Amino acid sequence: MLLWASLLVLGSTSGQFATAPKPVISLQPPWTTVFQGETVNLTCNGFHFYATEKTKWYYEYGKKLLIETSGNILHVRETGMYRCQAENSPLSDPVLLTFSTGFFILQAPHSVFEGDTLVLKCQRTGKEKLTAVKYSWNGKILHISNKSFDLFIPKASSRNNGIYQCIGSGDKSDIFKSNSQVIKIQELFPRPKLKVTATQPTEGTSVNLTCETQLHPERLDTPLHFIFFRDNGVFLSGWNESSELQIPAIWKENSGLYGCGAKTVTHDISKRSLPLPIWVQRIPVSEVSMETHPPGQAIEGEMLILVCSVAEGTGDITFSWHREDTNKSLGWKTQRSQRAELEIPVIWETHAGVYYCMADNSYGPVQSEAINITVRMTPGNRMGFIAVGATGGLLSALLLAGTLLFYWWQQRKSGVSFRRAEIRSFPAPGPGASCHSLCPAQEELKYLYGNVHPNEGDLVYAEIQITQLGEREETAPKPVISLHPPWTPVFQGETVKLTCNGFSSSSPRKIQWYIGRRILSEGNRSTLEVDQSGYYRCKVVNSPVSDPVHLDFVSGDSVVLRCQAKAKTKLDSVKIYKNDQLLVSLGENTEFNIHQASLRNNGDYHCTGVRKSLRYPVRSNTVKIQVQELFSRPVLTDILSGPGDGNQVTLSCETQLPPQKSNVMLQFCFFRNNQALESGCSNNPGLQISAIWTEYSGFYQCKAGAVISGVWKKSQITQIHVQRAVAEVQTPRHPASGSVFEGEELLLICSGGVDPEPMNFSWYYKTSWYTKKKISSEAKYKIPVVENGHAGEYYCEAGQFTSKPVTIKVKVPVSQPVLTLSTGKAQFVEAEPVNFRCEVDRGSPEILYEFFHEDTFLWKVKISSRFASFSTIPAHSGNYYCTANNGLGPQRSEALKLSVTVPVSQPILTLHTAEAQTVEGGVVTLHCEAHRGSLHVLYQFYHEDILLESTLVPAGTGASYRFSLTAEHSGNYYCTADNGFGPKHSKTMSLSVIVPVSLPILTLRMPRIPAVVGDVMELHCEALRGSPPILYQFYHEDVILGSSQSPSGGGASFKFPLTEEHSGNYLCEASNVQKSQRSNMMILNVKVPVSRPVFTLRTSRAQAVVGDTVELHCEALRGSPPILYQFYHEHVMLVNSSAPSGGGASFNFILTMEHSGNYFCEADNGLEVQRSEVMTLKVTVPVSRPVLTLRVPRAQAVVGDEMELHCEALRGSPPILYRFYHENVTLRNDSAFSGGVSFNLSLTAEHSGNYSCEADNGLGAQQSEVVTLFITGLTKHSSGAVATGVTGALLSMAGLTAGALLFYFWLSRKAGDRSASDFSRNPSDLNPQETTYHNVPGWIELQPVYLNGEGGLHPGLRGPAIGRLGSSQMSSRSGKGLPSFHSSSSSMEPLPAGTRTAHSHDKDSVISSFIWQKTFETERCPPSWAEDSPGTNRLVGNVTLRALQEKGSSNAVFN
């Protein structure tokens, strides 16, 4: 398919484009050079971007002529440079069209992109037809054809850039030369550039790669595919549409040179980016720690997991586990993780010891802290466990032996025998472990850590691999050996793990390991640990032997030398030596990189250093580095189709890449005599020369190289000698010239070179490029009289050699030239192009044509044509002529007179004002004048594209326009001048009219109304009219607050937080250079929210009493009035009151008993409600008159009766103090909180008389009514009987009690248990789930709650209370186990204060009543005791102490 210079621009059809792309002009027909009189259709493509119906066309050839068309097509027939513009779009790129007046032209498209097919056409006008064409490129023959006159170059590239020309041959043997066309193949897209998020990423992080390139604007619809690769051979992705690639996790082994490629889907144009190095940074391991699962003490017989982890570290980390008392490793794992586990299936007591782990990711091992692991086992069942294990082991061994014998018998019976290599042995099971060895013989139990012979108690780890016996082996590829760690050499005593890679792990095969030529190991293990020097190889069954392990570096690779010390040894002053010569000093660094290694890096390397701890030098071993060639030295070969001139030759640059670098891209260059051939460098190792001549003889050489690694190599020099016949020309005046004058004699001589043998000669005349005419069979050919028709190419043949063609040019003097114009008119406008044609009737080429104006040289050209065209823009009227000269003398044409009219030049617009500033109301004069131009000139004045005035004046003078200024006159002004050739625009001038400010408007903006303290208020001031900049100032009570300048209008604002002081008057002022104006005043009232009110309770006395008057006062110290106050009692509102001007509010009322409780108040001024603190009011009630009651067991009290006295006041606030009187003598006083007070009195004869009581709660004592008591007497016999009965009863109870105690102790001794009453027993000996407290004084704390007297204990009762437990016992509280006390007395009654006992003779003794509490400490209580409130003390019960002090002795009864 032919790709012409047309373009379709794709894009969105909706929305407004911020930056519209350029439109593109396409041509139909697509040629930039056509014949005069033809028509070319120009199409302005890209309208879907602009949505317009009209197109502006610019015709440029030294001037701009605006043409507007409806639609996007323009028909043109004149030479010039064309551009188009759609509405709101930029100008398109220019397209140069040439309408040629010649009769033979070369046509080429306007634009050709790489990958397109380049089409060139040779065209001839007139009746004479072409018989053959020849295309030249940069002066050299490119293509010859007598069939198709078009040249097709498929897949054009920048190599096809150059100057093209065609030469035609007519049917009358005429030769025509076309115009030259400069062809430049446009780049479809530039070389892509690879961008990455990080060039030195941290290992394990993600990296994003982006392949950036840009399609040419004319080919935005070309689809591109992208690819990403590393080191020119590792492909990271396939070809796809995405220009981005994300590497989720990158590792250190992924370091290298990264690149990307881009290619077209249809034209197969591909380009690669420059390599970008990415070096992945590895974080060394740190903070290694080890832990066990389960944590703590291990239990014998169970599994134990050792977990080794690192806080930091990336890449492949090798974890190893160790035991301090042995040098052997328990095991190791290499994985890309910061945590690894080692399982010990069954652990024994012998495994106890100190363990640690180590981690290494190629920066040296780091050790964890040691952990002491202890193994615990229950002594009672250990022997049994061992016995069971041993029994199980024996049974398993017997069962295994029987199975093996049976299997062996079956094999022998069937005639199948084992191969020796397939016999497996099984280790004995560990202590206590059951034997699971009953498995077929094809299972192998192997130690993961070879060369270890387990002893009893050692940790043994194993894995099971399955080997299918008799399985047929498949042909495997050549295996490859990898090393871990990857360094060589290592220190003596260390080991290197070799892995034989390259076969499927799902089907294990027999592997042989070699050291040199000796077999080292044979088995199915793919790994081998070695500790001695040598060359190692591996071989899998039915596969070739691997390459030996050795230092192996490839050209272009990076080499890393590492100077490694033993563990925990640090080096300083590290130096690298090559061949015993210092190469580099590294200091504390231990790695040295050789980038892009080459053969010059071969040699013996070693390193030295100084141990930091001991400060003495150390030297490493020597490492020999042998760098392999990336490719061999190229060899240049040539293949000639024949030994003579004009034959084809093929050059080939041969070299070979190693298999592992077969994907490296090589470039090839060819040279002759140290000069690069025309092809340049490419990836093609061959070069074909279609025709080679004698002058091409010389020394040839080729060069091959890898561009990325920078490795280049040259071949040896090859000499190529071309033999040929020689054709000589002799003329009388020029013996060795190819030019001859018409009428002279011409002699052609053919010689056969150095061949001594006789040969035949022939002379030929080439009538066209594919036809020849034999003109002689002699070695010499003579033309006596040369005519114009004898011009052409001649060559001869001498034997098998052919001479190079000789061109004979016949010189014919030119005739007088004729100068004509392409148009018939002689009147031209200045800057209008004129095409002159200078033509001769005869004359041999080449002819020099020169053009003149009034003897002033204008232009010249030397061509083979009989005419020459010259386009120019005449600046002046006058006479024009031309001359022609082909070396035989110049000839001059007759003069041609032209008349040129001058269009107006660009006018100049000036602005004049009477004052320095353009102020509203002033007068302005605009003056427009064009300094060049003929005829009358029309001047027009515009303001923002609006016509103001038009004036027609003679050329050489200008025009003016005058007007008075208003605010609307600001803007852009320009003028135009037109004298009939189109208007010319002046430059735009900007006029700014200054307008004085108007009265500003002040606006108060606040978040709420009214304004409150703390709100942010904004003052906005704006003048609706006035030229910027305007200065705004804000005032409060004529004090300036701030100022702000508005450079472009819109007013200004000022913000500030409100305080109480901001109330008042506000205004603003606006001013510009002309005037200042003040706004109207605004009043602002700032409200203050109420503060928390202070609540006061005022009473007439310290203690509030029923009937008193109480005043409640509530006041907020801050807050804007009016303030509403509300009073509350127990959240019930009592009353509300408003304070219009502040000062608080009060409320009075008379107290009753119901007024006790909590009081508070609230303050509210509409902005916020605040509540005061709560105050508690307790109203005290005076006691009422008490009632005294005497209770006796019979109607008539007699001596010896028990009498109860009860005194109670029905009203009164507790506590109430009761006093009992007998004949106005105080018997007792006691306090009670409710229910009155009672006490018992054993009657005697003296107790007859008047009794009364008194109640007092501090507000005044009240006396009861007097009660009179009469007592009658009893006989002594009666008294004695009573005493005898009481005594007998007491003795009976004592006897029963003693018998019960004796029986209890006997039972206790018989059961062998300790007595429950033994308080000396250690509590720790008891069952920890049962808590019993025997020693009551140890956990009971007695605290006085109420004291009778003057606030203290009686002097005789101060200090610790000492008493006896009467008939009291402890029992559990129902349901919760809390101890409580139960007294033998049915009630807890206080004794009357001041009462003497029946046996007391001390009148000064006083009986006082105390109330004691028992407190439990939660930590001593069982969990069930502390259920209700853990961690707190609890009140369990009350104990009442009756203390009787008599003659230094005391008795106490606890209830």
Q: Which long-range contacts (CB under 8 A, 24 or more apart) does 153-156 make?
A: 153/117, 153/118, 153/119, 153/120, 154/117, 155/114, 155/115, 155/116, 155/117, 155/267, 155/268, 156/112, 156/113, 156/114, 156/115, 156/116, 156/117, 156/118, 156/185
Is the pLDDT reported for residue 437 higher than 50? no
Find out whether 57 and 83 touch, Cβ atoms under 8 Å.
yes
Evaluate whether 273 touches 261 at the Cβ level (below 8 Å).
yes
If you count them, how many residues does the chain have? 1455
Cα dihedral across residues 707, 709, 710, 714: positive or negative? negative
- Per DSSP bridges, beta strands 1016-1022 and 1052-1057 are antiparallel
Q: How confident is the model over 116-131, as pLDDT tens digits?
A: 889 999 988 877 778 8
What's the pLDDT tens digit per position in 929-942?
998 887 789 999 99
List residues bridging with 1083 in a β-sheet.
1065
Nearest to 557 by CA among 363, 713, 708: 708
The mean pLDDT of the chain is 76
Question: How does residue 510 score in pLDDT terms, banded at 50, 70 and 90?
Answer: confident
The DSSP secondary-structure symbol of 391 reads H
Cβ–Cβ < 8 Å for 1268, 1250: yes
- Between CA 244 and CA 234 the distance in angstroms is 17
Longest Cα pair distance anywhere in the chain, in angstroms? 206
Spatial separation of the C-alpha atoms in residues 1265 and 1086, rounded to whole Å? 71
Question: How much of the chain exceeds pLDDT 90, in percent?
Answer: 25
Q: With the CA atoms of 375, 379, 381 and 387 taken in that order, what torsion angle do they form, in degrees rounded to the nearest 10?
A: 80
What does the alpha-carbon distance between residue 445 and residue 460 come to, in Å, rounded to a whole number? 11
Distance CA 753, CA 7 (A): 58
pLDDT per residue over 40-92, tens digit each?
999 988 755 455 568 888 876 545 666 888 888 899 988 888 888 887 788 88
- Bigger pLDDT: 543 vs 26: 26
For residue 679, pLDDT over 90 is answered with: no
Q: What is the mean pLDDT of residues 977-1001?
A: 89
Phi, psi of 390 (to 5 degrees): -65, -45
Residue 208: predicted pLDDT: 95
CB 1407 within 8 A of CB 1391: yes
The per-residue pLDDT for 1068 is 95
Is the Cβ–Cβ distance between 209 and 242 less than 8 Å?
A: no
**Distance, CA of 223 to CA of 213 (rounded, Å):** 12
Pairing of strands 896-901, 827-829: parallel
What six digits make up the tokens of 263? 């290619």
Q: What is the pLDDT of residue 987?
A: 93
HEC per residue, 744-770: CCEEEEEECCCCCCCCCEEEEEECCCC
In the structure encoding, which two tokens stand for residue 579, read together?
A: 């061949």
- Average pLDDT value for residue range 175-180: 85
pLDDT digits (tens, 9 = 90+) for 716-774: 888 887 766 666 776 665 545 567 888 788 888 887 755 556 778 888 888 665 577 88
**What secondary structure, in 3-state letters, does 1272-1310 show?**
ECCCHHHHHHHHHHHHHHHHHHHHHHHHHHHHHHHHHHH
pLDDT in tens, 8-51: 333 333 333 345 678 888 899 999 999 988 999 999 887 554 55
- Distance CA(261)–CA(191), nearest Å, equals 9
Report residue 412's pLDDT band, with 50, 70 and 90 as the boundaries. Answer: low
For 712, the token pair is 């280049």
Query: Tokens 């004046």 belong to which residue?
Result: 953
Q: What confidence score (pLDDT) does residue 10 get? A: 32
Residue 1405: the pLDDT is 33
Give CA–CA dist 1021/1002, Å, rounded: 5
Higher pLDDT, 1451 or 1099: 1099
Residue 1444 reports pLDDT greater than 70: no
Separation between Cα atoms, residue 993 and residue 1143, nearest integer Å: 61
| Per-residue confidence (pLDDT) for residue 248, from 0 to 100 | 92
Residues above pLDDT 70, as percent of the chain = 74
pLDDT at residue number 546:
86
- Does the pTM surpass 0.95? The reply is no
Q: How far apart (Å, rounded) are the C-alpha atoms in residues 411 and 485?
A: 45
pLDDT (tens digit per residue) in 1357-1415: 333 333 332 333 333 333 333 333 333 333 334 334 333 333 333 333 332 333 233 33
Is 70 exceeded by the pLDDT of residue 1437? no
Which tens digit of pLDDT belongs to each residue from 1315-1325? 333 433 343 33
